Structure formats: C-alpha cells, structure tokens
Structure 1
C-alpha cells in the first residue's frame, strides 16, 4: 500500500496551494469582483444604509426570538418584510445586492469548472458545511 504525498516547495506550499492562491488572486482581479468590493465599501460607508441595516437586524432578531418561542405573528413578519424592503430600496444597497448576486453566479460557474476535474462538488465540500 503506497501513500501519495504532495510535492512541496521550500516554504512548505504544494503546487495545489500555489494554484489556489493564484486562483483567489485572479478572482479578486475580475471586474465583477471589483464591482462587488466597491459596492460593499459603499454600503459600509453609507450612514443611512448602516442605520437601516441595524434596524433590520434588530427587527429580524426580535422576530426570530418570537418564532422560537412560538409568539411570532403576521404583524411581526410584515414589520420584518417592511424593514427589509426599506433597506433594499436604498440605491447603494440595491447596487450591492445586484453585484453580490452577479459575483455568486460567476463563482458558481468557476466552481463547476473546478468540480468537473473532481469527483465531488468543490464549492460544496470546500465550504465545510454538512448537507443531508
């Protein structure tokens, strides 16, 4: 029985490690990623967006707690949905969500390219989450 080992360079990095690093760097250089990063920074630096995010998160947390205790109702759900719509109505937030969606689609395409070479779904397994 033979055990295969990866060839490593002087720093201990394997070729796969090096290629993964290059792959990550290539992703950050894609215009779609740059658009996402700019949109994310815009949301982080927008005072109104941050206030609405905090408001939405507080309402969501209250609703989740109410749901766990069996006290959630339609009014609470409507309040949560209204806060989410109010947040998404901001131009800076809608731009961020559009950029995020486009990036996620592109990353899924890249996942499929990598997965074609493997016998597992690379993105699913690399994510570290267990699914039934």
Structure 2
C-alpha cells in the first residue's frame, strides 16, 4: 500500500470517460502515463510506502500534525501552495524523530519534493492514496 505525492499544474474538472470511446480512453491513459514520467524526471513525484510513513508520522505526533497527520492514505487530497509552510513544519517534526536510515531517507525525499514545490509555486501537490 502506498501514497503517491505528485506536483501537478491545476487540473480542469474531471471529465467522465464513461461515454468515451475506447480510443479516447486509451489516449487519456497514455497522456497520464507521459505526465507521470515527466514528473518523475523533474523530481515532482514521490511514491511512499504507508508502512514506512505511518510509524514516522505517529512518532512525530500523529493527528496533531496539521497536514501529514490529517492525510488519509486510502483517499486523495490536493494541497495548494498556502499549505507549504505547515507541511514543511510537519517534515521538520518528522526529521526530529527519524530513528533509522530508512526514515531519514524518507524525510530527505520529502524535503526534496517540497524544495521542488517551493521553486514552482503554481503547482499543486496531489496526494493519491491506495
């Protein structure tokens, strides 16, 4: 089980592909796959195992963390640039309690993602849960 964090430009309202042709659906999935590859190359994508993140969040205060403590790893959330300072404060708390190399690497990866977001303030942080 994982949580996918992706920096993306604002998205238009979701369009239902229920009445779309198979070719339209294939084209949509192809465009999404290309966007994910580009995001990964730019450092805008982080795939986090919930089994690694949850114990760290719980050690840092759990539900008291304003952003990470409220994320549901089984649903989707979108954060805008106004959430960045609180999210950075959450990562600071995670860093303070990180107890092993795996947790420290997770915190470093989160920091890299947030630095990329700071450089691109027009992007939104999409959190996709399993």
Q: TM-score, normalised by structure 1?
A: 0.34
Q: TM-score, normalised by structure 2?
A: 0.35
Q: Which has the higher helix share?
A: 1
Whose radius of gyration is greater, 1 or 2? 1
